[in-house]
């Protein structure tokens, strides 16, 4: 007896061939979508939101593009996820990961059509990925011991990362900013200490790195505009209680003078609080919440600079930078750790006034001020710079470096190809397919630059048959160039993450043989 129907009315299921087809096609479509943003000559995408503001983002960062898409295809979602993880983990290579996974699936589709079982393909891919990783490990360069060389490595990596972004025109300038900022961190990967402030106006070239900390606030009225050897108390407390404001509270009084008494009492309370704060021996008070005019007057009389409404990022970072702690009670001054810095002054950037703290406790902090024509340019510049900072901070810890420009892919493809020739059985087809997928990356880099990719990749292959070749695609001159001379380098960690994430994602999608979409839940009529 046959079961008529297993699922609810609107649930759908696709089995076997069709399910695999759907997941392959979805994943490849996503890969083709971001493919054009790969490489130094990659194009940007405009993302327009359907929300109220109709906000527009112009970007070529793979993760940003994929994050903003609303996708229905389950396999495509897996690719979106790996690009997100790549972005959180190493910061760069978000596009490469998706493109490589897409290519692996494209090759797998051909093999599945040739009646090779998906599990065979998967085990072939596993072996190939391991082999590719070992090939890279043999070729890595590590200059951790030599500070000069290491710094130039970092510069090259930063310039390579930035060359595919909007900052590619002034990449030397920005690479220098990024390297300086990361060198200050002294090996920590906590990018919180690097603050990026975006101010429209000027051109990208006017961006600069400031070794202090810049708070995007104005100094209050009648307060000192410049303080040397500042002692800073960073707080998160309410400074607006000099008025009665208990909502819905009623105070019945029989004369106006009683109201004045109540107000006087409130003022006294506030005055006491301010005195407690000043008793810490500070000359700068930064608060996350409002400071009303009355306490502000009191601070001004005491010669203390009071800054109100410093947003949460601001005070967290300020506390980190000046070595203070965020306080909210002021009864025992000895247990509160104050922040210190040499000088606080007001500076102008564009037409805005900002407060600049210099000579801070923790030398790790710095602020990068980005200038640019419009907010879109600045947003994209910030994303690009963030990618570079992520990669650099990872490289400082894991200092292994590779050449870039399609060189690592050629090295891996060569090793994987040799492995395929030695491997008996159907698995060898899968291993060969893996090497073809790796070659797709240099191919796409060349295609995006409008070069003859077939010609270039075959030239590269011939070059790589000699041991120790450093040949890669030189997009600028449109030929095969020496990556060592051109100074195109990439971090090993990024490449490894790309390789492993892409293989695992492709594996996961290959394992699928049935897609079941659940029926939407009905709302009961609530009558």
CB 83 within 8 A of CB 36: no
Chain-centroid distance of CA 510 in Å reads: 29
Is 387 an annotated catalytic residue? yes
Which residue of the set 153, 216, 379, 387 is catalytic?
387
Which residue of the set 36, 37, 59, 61 is catalytic?
61
Name the DSSP class of 193: G
Which residue of the set 36, 59, 64, 94 is catalytic?
94
Pull the structure tokens for residue 191. 């990018």
CB 389 within 8 A of CB 182: yes
Q: Which residues pair with 368 in a beta bridge?
A: 196, 209
CA torsion angle 388 390 396 400 (round to 10): -80
- Residue 495 to residue 86: CA distance in whole angstroms: 10
- Residue 453 to residue 132: CA distance in whole angstroms: 22
CB 161 within 8 A of CB 391: yes
Task: Report how far apart, in Å, the C-alpha atoms of 314 and of each of 119, 195, 322, 326, 444 are.
Answer: 52, 9, 12, 11, 42
Is 61 an annotated catalytic residue? yes
> Please, what is the Cα angle at 472 between 470 and 475, to 5 degrees?
145
Which residues touch 267 (CB under 8 Å, ≥6 apart)? 242, 294
Which residue of the set 95, 160, 395, 503 is catalytic?
95
CB 212 within 8 A of CB 357: yes
- Residue 230 to residue 321: CA distance in whole angstroms: 13
The DSSP result for 119-175, as a single string, is HHHHHHHHHHHHHHHHHHHHH-EE-SS-HHHHHHHHHHHHHHHHTTSGGGGGHHHHH
Q: Where in the sequence numbering do the catalytic residues fall?
A: 61, 94-95, 387
């Amino acid at each position: 007896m046959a079961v008529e129907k297993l699922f609810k009315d609107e649930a759908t299921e696709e089995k076997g061939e069709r399910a695999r087809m759907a997941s392959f096609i979805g994943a490849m479509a996503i890969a083709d979508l971001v493919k054009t943003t790969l490489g130094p000559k990659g194009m940007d995408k405009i993302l327009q939101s359907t929300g109220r503001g109709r906000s527009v983002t112009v970007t070529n960062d793979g993760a940003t593009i994929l994050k903003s898409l609303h996708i229905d295809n389950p396999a495509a979602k897996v690719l979106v996820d790996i690009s997100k993880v790549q972005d959180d983990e190493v910061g760069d290579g978000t596009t490469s990961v998706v493109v490589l996974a897409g290519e692996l699936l494209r090759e797998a589709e051909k093999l599945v059509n040739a009646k090779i079982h998906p599990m065979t393909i998967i085990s072939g891919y596993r072996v190939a990925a391991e082999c590719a990783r070992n090939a890279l490990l043999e070729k890595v360069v590590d200059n951790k011991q030599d500070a000069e060389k290491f710094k130039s490595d970092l510069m090259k990596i930063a310039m390579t990362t930035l060359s595919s972004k909007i900052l590619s025109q002034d990449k030397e300038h920005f690479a220098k900013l990024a390297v300086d900022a990361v060198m200050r961190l002294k090996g920590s990967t906590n990018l919180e200490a690097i603050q990026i402030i975006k101010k429209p106006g000027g051109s990208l070239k006017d961006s600069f790195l400031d070794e202090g900390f810049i708070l995007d606030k104005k100094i209050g009225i009648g307060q000192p505009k410049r303080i040397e050897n500042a002692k800073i108390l960073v707080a998160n407390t309410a400074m607006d209680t000099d008025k009665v404001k208990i909502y819905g509270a009623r105070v019945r009084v029989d004369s106006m003078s009683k109201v004045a008494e109540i107000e006087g009492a409130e003022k006294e309370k506030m005055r006491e609080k301010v005195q407690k704060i000043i008793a810490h021996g500070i000359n700068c008070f930064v608060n996350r919440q409002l400071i009303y005019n009355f306490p502000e007057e009191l601070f001004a009389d005491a010669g203390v600079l009071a800054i109100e409404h410093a947003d949460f990022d601001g005070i967290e970072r300020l506390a980190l930078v000046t070595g203070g702690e965020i306080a909210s009670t002021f009864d025992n001054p000895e247990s509160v750790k104050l922040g210190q810095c040499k000088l606080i002054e007001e500076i102008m950037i564009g037409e805005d006034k900002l407060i600049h703290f210099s000579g801070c406790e923790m030398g790790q902090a710095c602020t990068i001020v980005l200038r640019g024509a419009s907010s879109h340019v600045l947003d994209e510049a910030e994303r690009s710079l963030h990618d570079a900072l992520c990669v650099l901070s990872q490289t400082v810890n894991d200092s292994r470096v590779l050449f870039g420009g399609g060189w690592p892919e050629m090295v891996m493809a060569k090793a994987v190809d040799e492995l395929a020739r030695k491997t008996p059985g159907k698995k060898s087809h899968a291993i060969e397919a893996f090497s073809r997928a790796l070659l797709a990356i240099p191919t796409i880099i060349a295609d995006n630059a409008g070069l003859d990719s077939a010609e270039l990749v075959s030239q590269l292959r011939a070059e790589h048959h000699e041991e120790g070749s450093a040949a890669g695609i030189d997009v600028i001159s449109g030929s095969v160039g020496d990556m060592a001379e051109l100074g195109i380098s990439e971090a090993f960690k990024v490449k490894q993450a790309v390789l492993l994430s892409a293989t695992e994602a492709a594996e996961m999608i290959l394992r699928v043989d049935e897609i079941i979409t659940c029926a939407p839940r009905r709302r009961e009529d609530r009558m």
